[in-house]
């Protein structure tokens, strides 16, 4: 009996262990397929050093303090140190800030509170809490616009504007390459919040281009005016195009009723807003399409290029996307408010616009420009000092872009009067003078006193590496 009882116990243990083994395998299989649970924790306490930052800035820079106090960061107990704290060896550590810990007129002016901080907060810093957003942004055209403009823009490549003109204009939106000078941020590169700013920690971009510090408002970034800071004017008037369109008209009429402060990832068409904005089409999630901070997604044409190409064929920065996949994403966004036929026919019209611009205007003009250079009737050494170079440039960079972008965003005045109508005049003037030079074998007039063509022509090593 004892042996049988022992045997029974052993058999029971085997059955139990086998069952546990099956359960373990089943658990392991389930674990592999289990979605990762999100975790979020708020720490109500803050270190004394952070208290010192807040108390000091409350008195020294009340505007900064007020913005932070009204932010979601403050609600989550994210303080100055969480964003600005640096390592002693970081190249952008503020040496001036250390003097704050030597003051006798404030209670925190002692070495006990001394913390290395950097004025510049970068996407790498933001990635500690926003890793997905930072990764998406890093592969976008925004983050890499320094590389794009140095490859595509003759103003930079050929030095036809001055460094000062660039600092006050081009780099204000596109971003500077930050550098230190005498232990401080070089004023030639700072202050700057350009979308393609190259930071000292190797990251690219500035989140505050759209989410202005120190409120970092989701509302602000969702409104078209945030994009309109840079996307305006004769060469890329997206804000003007948007405001002319029916989408902009709806925003003007009903925008004050939109729920701009919906939680990230939940902003829903038809629920939180009636008509789309730049962000809702190009970044926000809807339907089956996820939110993204990569504005290169959802694009099926590269409209800024001289010759319109697919984003993956844009040589200055080939997108790692499939245009057909991305077009389907954008169609899903459109069909949150529009019927399938409306959306399909819109793209049929856009594709016709692209083909006519490429074949009727750009390709013949480019062929003529190449012929003039080949025959020595135009000089390549300095772009823009001969009138035909300006005519050619503005054909694609100004009215050519307006025609294409106007069609893409449904603004007829920009597609026609500011676009193709101007293309016709520009094209005719260009061809008239070009044919005259060819027929007479006469070189074009060259401006001998072209102003301020003094800009540095060396691409930044931080973007392209050291030159040979």
> Where does the pLDDT of residue 26 fall: very low under 50, low under 70, confident under 90, or very high at 90 and above?
very low
Average confidence (pLDDT) over 236-241: 97
Whether 35 shows a pLDDT value over 80: the answer reads no
**pLDDT computed for residue 32 by the predictor:** 55
Q: Is the pLDDT of residue 133 over 80?
A: yes
Of 253 and 41, the structure prediction assigns the larger pLDDT to 253
Bigger pLDDT: 25 vs 394:
394
Confidence band of 38 (pLDDT split at 50, 70, 90): low
Mark out the alpha helices in 335-467 (DSSP H runs): 340-356, 363-374, 387-394, 401-408, 412-415, 421-440, 461-464
- In angstroms and rounded to an integer, the radius of gyration of the C-alpha atoms of the chain is 29
Please report, rounded to a whole number, the percentage of residues in the chain having pLDDT higher than 70. 90
Per the CB < 8 A criterion, the answer to whether 286 and 336 are in contact is: yes
pLDDT at site 466: 76
The confidence score (pLDDT) of residue 17 equals: 43
Q: How confident is the model over 264-284, as pLDDT tens digits?
A: 999 999 999 999 999 999 999
* Predicted local distance difference test score (pLDDT) of residue 145: 97
CB 453 within 8 A of CB 155: no
pLDDT of residue 381: 86
- Res. 39 pLDDT band, cuts 50 70 90: low
Rounded mean pLDDT, 227-255:
97
Residue 40 confidence (pLDDT) above 80: no
Question: Cis omega before residue 206 (within 30°)?
Answer: no
Percent of the chain exceeding pLDDT 90 equals 86
Residue 183 has what pLDDT?
Answer: 87
For 326-338, how does the pLDDT look when each residue is reduced to its tens digit (9 = 90+)? 999 999 999 999 9
Count of other CB atoms within 10 angstroms of residue 175: 27
Q: Under a CB-based contact definition with an 8 Å cutoff, are residues 223 and 247 in contact?
A: no
Please state the pTM of the whole predicted model: 0.88
Strand-strand pairing, 184-185 and 180-181:
antiparallel
Tell which residue, 166, 147, 163, has the closest CA to residue 205: 147
Cis ω for the linkage preceding 240 (within 30 of 0) = no
Phi, psi of 377 (to 5 degrees): -85, -20
DSSP letter for each residue of 77-99: T--HHHHHB--TT-TTB-TGGGG
Residues 6+ apart with CB under 8 A from 104: none
What are 307-353's pLDDT values in tens digits?
999 999 999 999 999 999 999 999 999 999 999 999 999 999 999 99
Q: List the domains of the chain with CATH numbers.
A: 48-119 (no CATH), 121-216 (no CATH), 244-447 (1.20.850.10)
Mean pLDDT of the chain: 91
Residue 29: predicted pLDDT = 44
Q: Which of 199, 191, 206, 189 is nearest to 142 (CA)?
A: 206
How far apart CA 224 and CA 248 sit, in angstroms, is 9
Phi then psi dihedrals of residue 435, to 5 deg: -65, -35
* pLDDT for the residue 36: 65
Q: How confident is the model at residue 127 (pLDDT cuts 50, 70, 90)?
A: very high
3-state SS, residue 269: strand
Answer whether 402's CB lies under 8 Å from 422's CB: yes
- With cut-offs at 50, 70 and 90, classify the pLDDT of residue 21: very low
> Angle, nearest 10°, between helix axes 340-356 and 323-334?
130
Structure tokens at 215: 């409120």
Tell me if 468 sits within 8 A of 459, measured CB to CB. Answer: no
d(Cα 335, Cα 333) in Å, to the nearest integer? 6
Between helices 387-394 and 363-374, what is the axis angle to 10°? 160
Nearest-angstrom CA–CA distance, 433 and 372: 11
Assess contact for 399 and 418: CB atoms under 8 A. Answer: yes
Q: What is the pLDDT of residues 80-107, one digit of tens each?
A: 999 999 999 999 999 999 999 999 988 8
Residue 352's contacts (CB-CB under 8 Å, 6 or more residues apart) are: none
Instruction: Return phi, psi of residue 457, to 5°.
Output: -105, 5
Per the CB < 8 A criterion, the answer to whether 317 and 141 are in contact is: yes
What is the full DSSP assignment across 359-396?
Answer: IIIIHHHHHHHHHHHHTTSS-SSSTTSSHHHHHHHHII
**Alpha-carbon gap, residue 310 to 308, rounded angstroms:** 7
The Cα–Cα gap between 401 and 420 comes to: 10
| Cβ–Cβ under 8 Å, residues 127 and 134 | yes
Q: What is the mean pLDDT of residues 187-201?
A: 97
Q: Tell me the three state secondary structure of residue 286.
A: strand
Q: Which of 102-116, 393-407, 436-450 has the lowest mean pLDDT?
A: 102-116
| pLDDT one-digit tens code per residue, 403-430 | 999 999 999 999 999 999 999 999 999 9
């Amino acid at each position: 009996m004892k042996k049988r009882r022992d045997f029974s116990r052993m058999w029971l243990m085997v059955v139990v262990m086998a069952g546990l083994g099956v359960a373990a395998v089943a658990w392991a299989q389930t674990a592999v397929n289990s979605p990762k649970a999100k975790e979020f924790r708020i720490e109500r306490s803050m270190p004394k050093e952070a208290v010192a930052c807040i108390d000091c800035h409350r008195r020294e820079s009340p505007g900064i303090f007020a913005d932070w106090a009204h932010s979601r960061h403050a609600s989550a107990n994210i303080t100055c140190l969480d964003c600005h704290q640096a390592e002693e060896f970081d190249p952008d550590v503020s040496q001036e800030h250390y003097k704050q810990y030597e003051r006798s007129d404030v209670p925190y002016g002692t070495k006990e509170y001394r913390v290395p901080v950097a004025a510049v907060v970068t996407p790498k810093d933001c990635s500690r809490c926003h890793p997905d957003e930072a990764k998406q942004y890093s592969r976008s055209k925004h983050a890499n616009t320094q590389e794009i403009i140095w490859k595509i823009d003759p103003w930079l490549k050929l030095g036809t504007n001055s460094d000062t003109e660039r600092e006050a204009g081009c780099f204000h939106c596109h971003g500077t390459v930050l550098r230190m000078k005498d232990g401080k941020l070089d004023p030639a590169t700072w202050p700057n919040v350009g979308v393609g700013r190259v930071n000292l920690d190797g990251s690219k971009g500035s989140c505050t281009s759209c989410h202005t510090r120190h409120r970092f408002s989701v509302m602000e970034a969702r409104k078209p005016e945030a994009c309109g800071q840079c996307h305006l004017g004769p060469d890329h008037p997206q804000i003007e195009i948007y405001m002319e369109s029916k989408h902009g008209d709806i925003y003007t009429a009903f925008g004050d009723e939109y729920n701009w402060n919906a939680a990230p990832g939940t902003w829903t068409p038809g629920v939180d807003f009636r008509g789309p904005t730049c962000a809702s089409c190009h970044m926000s999630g809807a339907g089956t399409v996820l939110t993204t901070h990569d504005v290169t997604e959802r694009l099926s044409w590269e409209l800024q290029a001289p010759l319109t190409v697919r984003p993956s064929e844009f040589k200055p920065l080939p997108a790692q996307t499939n245009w057909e996949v991305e077009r389907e994403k954008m169609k899903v966004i459109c069909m949150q408010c529009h019927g399938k036929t409306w959306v399909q026919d819109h793209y049929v019209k856009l594709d016709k616009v692209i083909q006519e611009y490429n074949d009727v205007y750009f390709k013949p003009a480019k062929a003529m420009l190449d012929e003039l250079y080949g025959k020595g009737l135009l000089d390549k050494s300095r772009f823009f000092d001969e009138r035909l170079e300006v005519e050619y440039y503005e054909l694609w960079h100004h009215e050519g872009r307006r025609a294409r972008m106007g069609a893409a965003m449904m603004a007829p005045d920009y597609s026609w009067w500011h676009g193709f109508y101007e293309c016709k005049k520009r094209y005719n003037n260009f061809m008239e003078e070009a044919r005259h030079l060819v027929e007479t074998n006469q070189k074009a007039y060259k401006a001998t006193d072209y102003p301020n063509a003094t800009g540095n022509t060396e691409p930044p090593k931080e973007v392209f590496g050291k030159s040979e």
